[in-house]
Amino acid sequence: MHRVASSAVDWNAIREDFPILREQAHGHPLIYFDSAATSQKPRNVLDALRNYYEHENANVHRGLHELSSRATAAYEKSRQRVASYLGAATADEIVFTRGTTESINLVAQAWGGKFIRARDVILLTEMEHHSNLVPWQLLAERTGAQLRFVPVRDDGTLALDQLPSLLTPEVKLFAFTHISNSLGTINPVAELCDKARSVGALTLVDAAQSVGHLPIDVRELGCDLLAFSGHKMCGPTGIGALYGRADILDSIPPWHGGGEMIVSVTLEKSAFKKAPHRFEAGTPNIAGAIGLAAAIDYIERIGRSAIFEHDAHLAGYAVERLTELPGMRVLGPREDRGALVGFVMETAHPHDLTTFADQHGLAMRGGHHCNQPLMRRFGLAGTTRASFYFYNTTAEIDRMIEILRAAVRFFS
């Protein structure tokens, strides 16, 4: 793992690697504060996609010709790249999927379908993104299993003092987010995995908001399963992965049937490949996987520790500046937060604020952020969210504050 100090990186030069950051929006220089929804892509990722289609494009694992060999090698090398990026023991522990949502659904449907019975418990938290909630609701409906939730405290952290009464032997899986996409809370993954293990529950980490932002080593964290999306970490859309410890993946039956995932097929019956290929029916997103590997290359060149430091600095600075504004309520923990800030202002509804900002070239997100139960928990219909990545600057945050001040004047 790279250990580059944030101060050693030329953050302004990095912006040059992202062609889209030169765009204008409504006649203003674009300020992109919506990276929690999807990040922008550096040139090397765009080049990797183009290079693949110009020099390697063919289907994988089936052709006997040169291009197919190149495509297969590039695709499997990408799997290796993801494995080493996450600290997985082998590349076989990496299943390519469309992203976090599909990874979680794979576990809920295929693992849940085999192992979950009525009265088993799936433990979640109140801060889960809908993609780590709805699949479990569907499983609970099908099997009669129960869902339990770790409550969220007013400061946006999990009420860990309640874990002993929630994390009981009936819990078969504890699925939780690493970083909350609305609150910015960073959950203590290793501690939660440890506690889950002590009652024999598996753990699934939703790393959508963390995988591109801080160093992650699945074996250090001690998680059994981990889901993420490439598009939030400089990669293309439509690609992501599920990490699963080898023995766990091997115990899960196939979920989608089709080509690529079989060893032999008769009209009556099929024999399936081992993990991860068993879970990759049909032609996969080959270009996406290659683009994801390029994104990992890019991130590792900067270094995840440096990125985390820079992100934390931006988020801290944003919180500090936002609280200068009148009628401002910032959600989530004061300290130790991920690269995003959700807030509400007395003078303007999140929708109005987001529209106003957009007209000034500032892209933020307004609404419930796929966190309806969490919004209800805080008595809100929604928030405005400014989310950052390493290509953002404090100067952009200053500009955001100016725009929000103008909004206060406009709406009050």
Tell me the window of 53-61, 94-102, 241-249, 290-298 that interacts with ligand PLP (CB under 6 A): 94-102
- Count of residues engaged in binding other proteins, rule: CB under 8 A: 21
Contacts with ligand PLP, 323-352, as mask; x by CB under 6 A: ------------------------------
User: What's the rounded Cα separation, in Å, for the pair 359 and 351?
Assistant: 12
User: What's the rounded Cα separation, in Å, for the pair 66 and 4?
Assistant: 39
Report phi then psi at 177, rounded to 5: -85, 145
**Partner whose binding site includes residue 263, from other proteins, ligand PLP, none (CB under 5 to 8 Å by kind):** none
> Is there binding between residue 185 and ligand PLP (CB under 6 A)?
no
> Is there binding between residue 372 and other proteins (CB under 8 A)?
yes
Q: Given the complex with other proteins, which of 291 and 361 has the nearer CB atom?
A: 361
Mention every residue, 6+ apart, whose C-beta is less than 8 A from residue 178.
186, 187, 189, 205, 206, 207, 209, 210, 211, 216
> Is there binding between residue 396 and ligand PLP (CB under 6 A)?
no
Interaction with ligand PLP in 194-223: which residues (CB under 6 A)?
Answer: 206, 208-209
Tell me the window of 67-75, 97-105, 147-155, 285-293 that interacts with ligand PLP (CB under 6 A): 97-105
Is 382:350 a contact under the CB 8 Å cutoff? yes
User: What's the rounded Cα separation, in Å, for the pair 377 and 151?
Assistant: 9
User: What's the rounded Cα separation, in Å, for the pair 136 and 168?
Assistant: 18
- Count of residues engaged in binding ligand PLP, rule: CB under 6 A: 13
User: What's the rounded Cα separation, in Å, for the pair 104 and 133?
Assistant: 9
Residue 370 a catalytic site member: yes
Shortest reach from residue 329's CB to other proteins, in Å: 15
Shortest reach from residue 221's CB to ligand PLP, in Å: 16
User: What's the rounded Cα separation, in Å, for the pair 231 and 182?
Assistant: 18
Contacts with ligand PLP, 129-158, as mask; x by CB under 6 A: x-xx--------------------------
Mention every residue, 6+ apart, whose C-beta is less than 8 A from residue 119.
144, 145, 146, 170
DSSP alpha helix (H) spans, 185-253: 189-198, 218-221, 246-251
DSSP string, 372-412: HHHHHHTT-S-EEEEE--TT--HHHHHHHHHHHHHHHHHH-
> Is there binding between residue 381 and other proteins (CB under 8 A)?
yes
Binding residues for ligand PLP, rule: CB under 6 A, are: 99-101, 129, 131-132, 177, 181, 206, 208-209, 229, 370
Residues that bind other proteins in the complex, under the rule CB under 8 A? 26-27, 348-352, 355-356, 359-360, 366-368, 372, 375, 380-382, 410-411
Where in the sequence numbering do the catalytic residues fall? 370
